[in-house]
Structure formats: structure tokens, C-alpha cells
A and B are shown apart, each in its own frame.
Chain A
Amino acid sequence: MSNQGVTVHHGEEINNSTGVSNKKLLMWAFLGSDVMFFGTFIGTFMAYRNKSLNGPYPEDTLDIPITSVSTFVLLMSSLGVVLAVHYLKESKMGLAKFWLILVIIMGMIFMGFQVYEFTHFAHIGMTPQANLFGSTFFTLTSLHGAHVSLGILWLIFLLYNEYKGNLTSENAIDLELAGLYWHFVDIVWIIIFALLYLITAGDGVPPGGLPWTAGH
């Protein structure tokens, strides 16, 4: 504990004993814990896959074309964040603001798709109480949606600071940290899209399950 000094370089505090930014280290530790958090929920979903004995089943509900569009929007928002950080570091404030606003809009579009999807599911009778598929699906996707919503609020806060002149190239690390969080949300969705949607979408009535028709 003899070396507790901190060096500041372009707003990034480098801890002299670890040689890395304390803020960034904390963010990676948090993201690591979040990986384990999502790991449990994804594991639970897969363990209960094809175990619902009453409908609606995945093949009756999941709409791959719509989710593909929202997935694409979220993927492109990751590009937006990385470009916003890049331009902020180069002090190109106009471009940084442009990409930051675009990312916020893309995040909102993604959430809009999720709201539409949830509403549609509720109308055809798929709710968290309907069956095991509904419970595990809504728990996981809602948690992810909560992460996206938090990310949008964080980015709006940073955009406000940028307009006030408080976010500059000198403290670009603040946007970089939000960017790391946003990318993480993106990679979690990459896994969710593959496991919950593409792999599960074909699942119909399991052995011993009751047939299901819309409206019943």
C-alpha cells in the first residue's frame, strides 16, 4: 500500500500501483459481475426450454423479422457510441453530439420494439403468468430492457453535460465508460437474440403438452 499515487492523463486517472484507470477498472469489474448475473437468467431460460405444458409456445409468439430489425438497430447503436467517443476525444464536438443523439434515438427505437412486442404478446395471451416460457422469457428480456433504459438515461445525462460544456475531450473517459456499458448491453442482446429467438422460435408443443390456439 506504499504507492497510492494517482496520475491524471486526459481526464483519465491512472492509478500508479495498478497502471490502469480506476474508473475503467471499476466498470470492467461491474460488467464482469453483470455477466454472471445474466448467465444465471440465460441458464434458467435454457433449462426450462420446451418444458411448458400449456401454450402459447415460442412458435406461436416469436416474430423473428421484427426482432431482427431491433437487433440490427442495437448493433448499429454500438457503432454510434464508439464514434461519439472517438470524435469527443478529437474535440469534434458537433460530430460527437450528432452520434450521441443518434445512439439515444436508436436505444429508444429498440425499447419501442420491445414495448410493441410485449403488448402484442399480452394480447395473444402470453404473459409472465402464462407458462414457464412466458416467465423466463419476460424476466430475461425485461431485465435487459431495464439495462437499455438505464443506458439511455445515462447517455441523455452525458448529452446534457456536453451541451453545458462540461463534457469535453479532457474528460472523455466519462463517455467511454457509458460506451462500455452500452456495448455490454449490446453483447447480452447478441446472446439473447441467438438463444431466446433464433434457436427457440421453432419450439412447438412438447411431449405431453396441450395444443394451443390464439384466443384460448
Chain B
Amino acid sequence: MSILKDLFHYDGNGWWRIPKTEEAKANPKLEHPFGKFLGMSKDFLIFITSGKGHASPAYYWAIAIILGLITIVEVWWFDVEGLRYLLVPAMLFFSLVKFILVVAFFMHLRFDNKLYSNIFVTCMIIGVFIFSLFLVLSAFHGLGN
């Protein structure tokens, strides 16, 4: 709940509330084995998701670097034999994160009118339903055999 609150500013009433005051900023805890690193990472994530510095080139570069790093991790994961058993869930997770980053920040859905998000998410749900239907049909009716 705390992570949700910090990253998405979820206060029980909506996901899209961006803090407008200094007091609303998160106060990262530093009592953990990684010292300041986790706190700084959390600060950075909050900076990205809250839209501070939004619509500045540095902001877009930061998103692009994250996307590039995730792609490098994906390819590395693919090459490691010992991690093959987790390949499918890992790739689905990484592609989902990249998908959300591009849609939310490059396509501005995070900051744009909710109507656009509603249209796109509704179509996504239908798209995923169609996708799942094919897989279920394939599994139970031997599609392609």
C-alpha cells in the first residue's frame, strides 16, 4: 500500500492525484542493507511517476534510458541457461513495464485527459480477451493439431 501510495499517489480516492505541496512528497526510509541506494531509487521513481520535470528533455531521456536498460536485461536473461525456467513470466513482466512506461510517459496518458485512458484501456481489455480466447480455444480444442 505504501509503494502504491508513493508511486501512484493513491489515497483511496483516485490513482491520478499528483502532490502539489512539498509536504505531500514521500519521505524515503534509509534503514536497509542498500543504504541510500534504495531511497534514491525510490525518489527517482517518484520523480518520474509524479511528473516532476515532465515535458523536459531530461525527463524523456530518463525514461528512454530505463527502457534501454530493461531491453538489455531481457536479452541477458534470455542468454542465461539457469534462468530459462522463468523466461516466460520474466519476459511478460518486462514487456508490461516497458509498455506502461511508453504509454504513460511518452504518450502522456499519465498526464492527459482520463477519457483517452478509458478508451485505450477498454480496447486493451477487449484485445487481451481476444488473445486469451485464442489460447483457451487452442488448449481445449487442439487448434492447429
A residues in contact (CB < 8 Å) with B = 18-20, 24-25, 28-29, 31-33, 35-36, 38-40, 42-44, 46-48, 51, 64-65, 68, 71-72, 75-76, 78-79, 81-83, 86, 132, 180, 183-184, 186-187, 190-191, 193-195, 198-199, 201-202
Contact = CB atoms under 8 A, between A and B. Distances in A.
A32 B120 contact: yes
B78 A86 contact: no
B126 A36 contact: yes
A201 B143 contact: no
B127 to A, nearest CB: 3
Given A44-B134, A71-B71, A183-B102, 17 more contacts: A32-B120, A32-B124, A35-B124, A35-B126, A36-B123, A39-B126, A39-B128, A46-B134, A47-B135, A75-B67, A81-B106, A86-B60, A186-B102, A193-B74, A193-B95, A194-B95, A201-B78
A45 B89 CA distance: 18
Contacts, number: 136
Contact of A43 (B56, B78, B122, B133): B133
A24 B112 CA distance: 11
Contacts of B113: 19-20
Contacts of A31: 120, 123
A43 B102 contact: no
9 closest A-B pairs by beta carbon, nearest first, are: A32-B123, A39-B127, A43-B134, A47-B138, A51-B144, A194-B95, A79-B64, A43-B131, A194-B91
Contacts of B30: none
A43 B137 CA distance: 10
Contact of A79 (B61, B123, B132): B61
Contact of B102 (A33, A40, A187): A187
Contacts of B99: 187, 190-191
A169 to B, nearest CB: 14
B134 A190 contact: no
Contact of A82 (B106, B119, B124): B106
Contacts of B133: 43
Interface string B30-70: 00000000000000000000000001110011011001100
A28 B119 contact: yes
25 contacts: A19-B113, A19-B115, A25-B115, A29-B119, A32-B123, A35-B126, A35-B127, A40-B130, A40-B134, A46-B138, A48-B144, A51-B145, A68-B71, A76-B64, A79-B61, A83-B57, A86-B56, A132-B144, A186-B106, A187-B102, A191-B95, A194-B92, A195-B95, A198-B87, A199-B91
